[in-house]
Structure 1
Amino acid sequence: MSRRNAPDESTETDPLDAFRQFFALERDVLVLSLAMFAFSLGFQMTSRFLPEYMVALGASGFAVGLFGTVGNVISAVYPYPGGAISDRIGSRYALTAFGLVSTLGFAVWLVAPSVGPIAVAGVTVEPWVWIFVGLLLAQAWKSFGLGATFAVVKQATDPARLAAGFASTETFRRTAFLIGPVLAAVLIGLHPSFTVSFRYVLAVAVLFGIVGTLAQHLLYDASGDSVGGGSFEGVAQIRADLRDMPAPLRPLLIGDTLVRFANGMVYVFFVLVVTQVFGAGFETTLAVGEFSYAVDLSPQAFFGYLLGVEMLVALLTMAPAAKLAERVGLKPVVAVGFFVYGAFPVVLIYGPELLSPVLSVQWALVLVFAFSGLRFAGLPSHKALIVGPAERGAGGRVTGTYYLLRNLVVIPSAAIGGALWEFVTPEAAFALAAVVGVVGTGYFLVYGEEFEAYA
């Protein structure tokens, strides 16, 4: 079906479908949506502020880079064993176990400052080391079911509407991405000391984890679970999946890996650019008639609102971009997202200074993070381009293989960025990241292939 032909009404995918299903209280949608929303809120409230938390607890910039690399390792290696555990014990108990582990991770972050430096075998363990321990636990639920989500959308959506189908699920999920950092910013503003106020955030994240875990365990209908079957077959299965990866995915994978490597070099340092390089808080007075209210945000709280601006732009642009893809194809829309990913490091590190003749640092950062939100506009089309060429029924395996390869290569990116940040300059780290990202975008533009249903 040509993208210029109107799709059958029965295949239309409204980006607001996820919200309508949620409020219709369909059992499975309600349970999984509650869990997704709760854990997304908890993780988004906390993860973007953890580098600042680590520095406040005494970590160096290089340690922050290593933290990002550990996160990359987890993203690469967790999904396969997670899927095997789910196949073995069933979705209900797997979801409950992953939820409990993630909640425990939030709790470890919460108590880290209270542990204090301790001596273990003659080595002093600083409080920030416990942030690594918490990360190993907190990402458990987040990494569950990635391939299955892609496969379900592929099976339920007309091929020419895949981008719109992913726009629907992403719109729902990323609403939590919008609310989480803004809620964190409000809580951070309750106390002048960041190490105190951020623990308020972590306490709320623990609460969300408990709610999500209880909801999915008590309400999830496990009657359809198949227990004890289809476990992971080992390295031979990975090799077979690599051989069977559709050829059109390879240019996309190479370009995407370069772009994500670039982003990984500097992602954990975004908060430090705002709070330390620019030291940018936000001060203004809101006046309505005779009523006025002074707004005075710390740099850490301001960063939370900047993330809110970023995600608001993402939510506003994902659905229109998915519709645009039906007219111009997936590749141009994905390329725009890649370009924003690649260019953002230099836009962030140099943009506020370049805009200083016309904008204050605070408003320049608002504009910069609004620009960053455009990278998510291409995300539904990107997902459609990944799973589209897969044979029906193989979407989960293809997706898992794609992300395994990409995430394995990206593992050292944050450590490299951390070394440049600590031992050269932050500007060097961000400039090199931008070069790598733009090269990845260019490679995809030259060699990337369009999905036939959109051609």
Structure 2
Amino acid sequence: MGTDRASDGVDLLDAFRQFFALERDVLVLSLSMLAFSLAFQMTSRYIPEYMRILGASAGVIGLYGSVGNLISAVYPYPGGAVSDRLGSRFALTAFAVLATLGFGVWYLAAVVGSVAVGGLTVPAWAFVFVGLFLAQAWKSFGLGATFAIVKQSVPPDRLAMGFASTEVFRRLGFLVGPLVAAGLLAVAPAFVDGFQLVLLVAVACGVAATVAQHVLYDASEDSLGKSFEGVGQVIDDLRAMPETLRPLLVADTLVRFANGMVYVFFVIVVTDFLAVGFTGFGFDLRPDAFFGVLLGVEMVVAIISMVPVSKLAENAGLKPAVALGFSVYALFPLVLIYAPADQWMLVALFAYSGLRFAGLPAHKALIVGPAERDAGGRVTGSYYLVRNTLVIPSAALGGWLYGSSWAVDVAGRTLRAGPELAFGVASVVGVVGVAYFLLFGEEFEAYE
């Protein structure tokens, strides 16, 4: 894509754009990521608490997480195929419209409440599932399109920095979104009242981002691949996946399975299990508002660390950066569930959690780097199809362990189900994934 230099050949932003690999369409993509990340992160991290207040059990909340995993598994491949065939502009606009509608359905869940259909009563939290299928459209359907845009806009040896540029914008949304949510929740009389305001802001962000990306994105240089040819093509694409991705895929699946077991319960651990609020600097925050601040702390660390780690990866390789992120994913559940109910300890732990994002640009570069130019969306879609399919049951398993009360004797000791067991098992699975990657993970040759 073009660099949009000024007519006299001087671009005052050239140094900035060279450093962050911000070609025009990567910049448009980055701004869209900012808006949708803002919308999704101010809402999705609170959805489990929203469901709990609407009457959902731990098992149902875990099922919600697994449905999210199912969507993440199913959406990227057809999304990548649509992007490769029809172009990124059309694909991302359609996915953005669907996501915006999803935020609206989440808003209606508390407004409509339980609905009687014939002899059945549909609980209010059921509408959250409906909204989920729509809200994840830009995030999951559009995954292949976003990878493909960076792939075709940035030189191979700059992929980590290209992804870092989009990720920094995306993580700014991760930072600002929860802080906006925390502010709205803090001034509202109750959680649901504040969260309804948050959802309306999310709808507004979705509308603005949809219009902006459709108008500003230059589709003239989209590279189009072949059309989708059915299930056989999926199998062919999986078989054609570059060899260097296979150890990464195994390790990534284990780490994400571990994270998926407990991710939806992070907000409930803070608001209900530990029930920690924040007092200081003239503020007195309820636990739900404090959780938004903790997510902000997490994202500050993520944003600060992401670009330096990506620059280091250009010299040291991608593998160490990816291993760093994987290790934080693996250990965080264990340290969180056994943390004392202290506000400053939670601040420190969520700051540590932010380091899991430091290796994400390198991780993405390691996925898409070996792909051919016109197949970036397909390789990405195939990779996430496998990983996310295997991760589907993780949240349901974690929800079952979290909400159960059974106990068994093991070697003379009583092992009880509950939050501690769910989070402990998650960390064990994650550590196995980290060890596998350290032993068998391969480097992308452009960084060797």
Q: What TM-score do you get using the length of structure 2 for normalisation?
A: 0.88
Shift of the alpha carbon at 1:240?
Answer: 0.7
- Specify the code of the residue in structure 2 equivalent to 1:389: P
- Specify the code of the residue in structure 2 equivalent to 1:415: A
Asked if the contact 1:12–1:161 (Cα under 8 Å) also holds between the matched residues in 2, the reply is no
Shift of the alpha carbon at 1:214?
Answer: 2.8
Asked if the contact 1:80–1:232 (Cα under 8 Å) also holds between the matched residues in 2, the reply is no
In the superposition, relative to structure 1, how do residues 252 and 224 fare at CA in structure 2: closer, same or farther (>3 Å)? closer
- Residues 1:430 and 2:423 are matched in the alignment: yes
Instruction: Map Cα deviations across residues 203-257 of structure 1 (whole Å, 9 max, x no partner).
Output: 1111112222233345555666799x84321111111111111112111110010
Shift of the alpha carbon at 1:273?
Answer: 0.6
In the superposition, relative to structure 1, how do residues 392 and 111 fare at CA in structure 2: closer, same or farther (>3 Å)? closer
The structure 2 residue matched to 1:311, chosen from 299, 319, 328, is 299
Kindly report which structure 2 residues correspond to 1:193-272, keeping only aligned pairs within 5 A, or say none: 193-220=190-217, 230-272=226-268
Corresponding residue for residue 384 of structure 1:
365
- Residues 1:408 and 2:370 are matched in the alignment: no
Q: Distance in 2 between matches of 1:58 and 1:114?
A: 14
Asked if the contact 1:51–1:269 (Cα under 8 Å) also holds between the matched residues in 2, the reply is yes
Identity %: 65
Instruction: Map Cα deviations across residues 145-174 of structure 1 (whole Å, 9 max, x no partner).
Output: 322332343344343332222212211221
Kindly report which structure 2 residues correspond to 1:25-424, keeping only aligned pairs within 5 A, or say none: 28=25, 31-85=28-82, 91-220=88-217, 230-284=226-280, 286=281, 294-350=282-338, 352-353=339-340, 361-423=342-404, 424=417
In the superposition, relative to structure 1, how do residues 44 and 118 fare at CA in structure 2: closer, same or farther (>3 Å)? same
Unaligned runs of 5+ in 2: 1-13, 405-416
Asked if the contact 1:178–1:312 (Cα under 8 Å) also holds between the matched residues in 2, the reply is yes
Corresponding residue for residue 408 of structure 2:
none
Q: Which moved more, 1:317-326 or 1:58-67?
A: 317-326
Q: Distance in 1 between matches of 2:218 and 2:436?
A: 46
Secondary structure of the residue that 1:279 maps to in structure 2? coil
- Specify the code of the residue in structure 2 equivalent to 1:137: L
In the superposition, relative to structure 1, how do residues 87 and 376 fare at CA in structure 2: closer, same or farther (>3 Å)? closer
Secondary structure of the residue that 1:262 maps to in structure 2? helix
Secondary structure of the residue that 1:192 maps to in structure 2? coil
Instruction: Map Cα deviations across residues 315-364 of structure 1 (whole Å, 9 max, x no partner).
Output: 111111112223322212211111111011001111x22xxxxxx71000
Secondary structure of the residue that 2:46 maps to in structure 1? helix
Asked if the contact 2:249–2:383 (Cα under 8 Å) also holds between the matched residues in 1, the reply is yes
Q: What TM-score do you get using the length of structure 1 for normalisation?
A: 0.87
Shift of the alpha carbon at 1:434?
Answer: 0.2
In the superposition, relative to structure 1, how do residues 71 and 263 fare at CA in structure 2: closer, same or farther (>3 Å)? same
The structure 1 residue matched to 2:438, chosen from 439, 445, 453, is 445
- Specify the code of the residue in structure 2 equivalent to 1:127: A
Secondary structure of the residue that 1:141 maps to in structure 2? helix
Secondary structure of the residue that 2:284 maps to in structure 1? strand
- Alpha-carbon RMSD across the aligned residues, in angstroms, is 2.4
Unaligned runs of 5+ in 1: 1-9, 287-293, 354-359
- Specify the code of the residue in structure 2 equivalent to 1:74: I
In the superposition, relative to structure 1, how do residues 237 and 31 fare at CA in structure 2: closer, same or farther (>3 Å)? same
Asked if the contact 2:27–2:166 (Cα under 8 Å) also holds between the matched residues in 1, the reply is no
- Specify the code of the residue in structure 2 equivalent to 1:376: F
Q: Which moved more, 1:377-386 or 1:158-167?
A: 158-167
The total of aligned residue pairs comes to: 423
Q: Distance in 2 between matches of 1:38 and 1:410?
A: 27
